[in-house]
């Protein structure tokens, strides 16, 4: 038993002495391990921080790019809207805007004459076909402004006359477009296919509505109690509208009856049946 205990105690004493002799090595090793872990942690934090900063920079750049794109789109939309409100070159202005109202008949006639001069200047910038169309239909446009100027000079019926004039203003735009289609019809196409029947049909629809409006104006004129000057001016404009109605009706009928070669052949086969 003594033989076993003595060597064991000797081993324990030598081991204790070795540990006691090198305590700093153990501490340094622990500290070194701790330092390595700390450095690794700092590296991880630094990497995370760097990655976070990079992401933030990318987000800021994306936000800036989006802001610039939105600004460009906004400017383009604004320019488009402004362009929509501007009159196209060579196109007369049908916008009535804030139509002036005359206080006297003298002023009303002056306003009509001024508008007539403006329409004459507009025609100088138009094509030959457009000039041919507007030369006649400007009579209706002139009548529109004349009737609008009478609103305060015709108590009781003024607002109704003004409303009919505005409806005529919309209608004359439609009839001008229809007549332009008819006048621009190619002679070759007209010879084989015939007239612009769709445009003629659109024109007739407007003329039917205008005829009713003219009858209303005639009735309002009879009800007017503002004096002979107002009635005379109203009568002048009604006559101008009536004359243009007759011309456009004849034009529409002629266009619808122009069949061309194909139409003639088609009708020939119908008669043969």
**pLDDT at site 191:** 87
**Do 144 and 240 lie in a common domain?**
yes
**Do 148 and 195 lie in a common domain?**
yes
**pLDDT at site 211:** 96
In a domain, 241, yes or no: yes
Contact predicate 112/146, CB 8 Å: yes
Domain span at residue 78?
42-82
**Do 170 and 64 lie in a common domain?**
no
In a domain, 243, yes or no: yes
Tens digit of each residue's pLDDT (9 = 90 or more) over 148-167: 999 889 888 999 999 999 99
Whole-angstrom distance, CA of residue 70 vs CA of residue 76: 10
In a domain, 240, yes or no: yes
**Do 157 and 57 lie in a common domain?**
no
pTM of the entire predicted model: 0.62
**pLDDT at site 96:** 75
**Do 142 and 247 lie in a common domain?**
yes
Residues 6 or more apart from 169 whose CB is under 8 A from it?
94, 96, 141, 144
| Regions in the chain scoring below 70 on pLDDT | 1-91, 97-100, 262-273
In a domain, 181, yes or no: yes
**Do 155 and 235 lie in a common domain?**
yes
In a domain, 9, yes or no: no
**Do 134 and 236 lie in a common domain?**
yes
Could you tell me the two tokens for 13? 């004493």
In a domain, 271, yes or no: no
In a domain, 34, yes or no: no
**Do 129 and 182 lie in a common domain?**
yes
**Do 112 and 78 lie in a common domain?**
no
**pLDDT at site 67:** 58
**Do 67 and 153 lie in a common domain?**
no
**Do 157 and 256 lie in a common domain?**
yes
Q: What's the structural domain count of the chain?
A: 2
Tens digit of each residue's pLDDT (9 = 90 or more) over 27-48: 444 444 544 454 554 555 554 4
In a domain, 35, yes or no: no
**pLDDT at site 94:** 72
**Do 218 and 251 lie in a common domain?**
yes
């Amino acid at each position: 038993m003594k033989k076993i205990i003595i060597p064991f105690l000797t081993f324990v004493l030598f081991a204790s002495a070795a540990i006691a002799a090198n305590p700093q090595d153990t501490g340094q090793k622990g500290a070194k391990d701790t330092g390595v872990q700390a450095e690794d942690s700092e590296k991880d934090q630094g990497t995370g921080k760097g990655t976070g900063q990079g992401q933030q920079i990318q987000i800021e750049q994306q936000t800036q790019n989006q802001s610039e794109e939105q600004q460009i789109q906004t400017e383009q939309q604004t320019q488009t809207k402004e362009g929509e409100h501007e009159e196209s070159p060579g196109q007369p202005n049908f916008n009535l805007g804030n139509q002036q109202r005359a206080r006297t008949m003298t002023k009303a006639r002056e306003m009509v004459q001024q508008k007539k001069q403006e329409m004459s200047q507009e025609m100088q910038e138009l094509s030959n076909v457009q000039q041919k169309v507007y030369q006649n239909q400007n009579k209706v446009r002139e009548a529109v402004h004349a009737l609008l100027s009478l609103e305060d000079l015709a108590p009781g019926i003024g607002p109704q006359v003004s409303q009919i004039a505005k409806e005529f203003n919309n209608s004359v735009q439609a009839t001008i477009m229809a007549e332009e289609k008819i006048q621009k019809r190619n002679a070759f196409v007209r010879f084989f296919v015939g007239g612009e029947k769709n445009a003629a049909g659109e024109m007739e629809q407007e003329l039917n509505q205008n005829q009713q409006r003219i009858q209303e104006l005639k009735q309002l004129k009879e009800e007017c109690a503002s004096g002979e000057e107002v009635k005379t001016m109203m009568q002048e404009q009604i006559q101008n509208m009536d004359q243009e109605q007759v011309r456009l009706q004849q034009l529409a009928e002629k266009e619808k009856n122009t069949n061309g070669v194909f139409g003639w052949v088609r009708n020939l086969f119908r008669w043969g049946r």
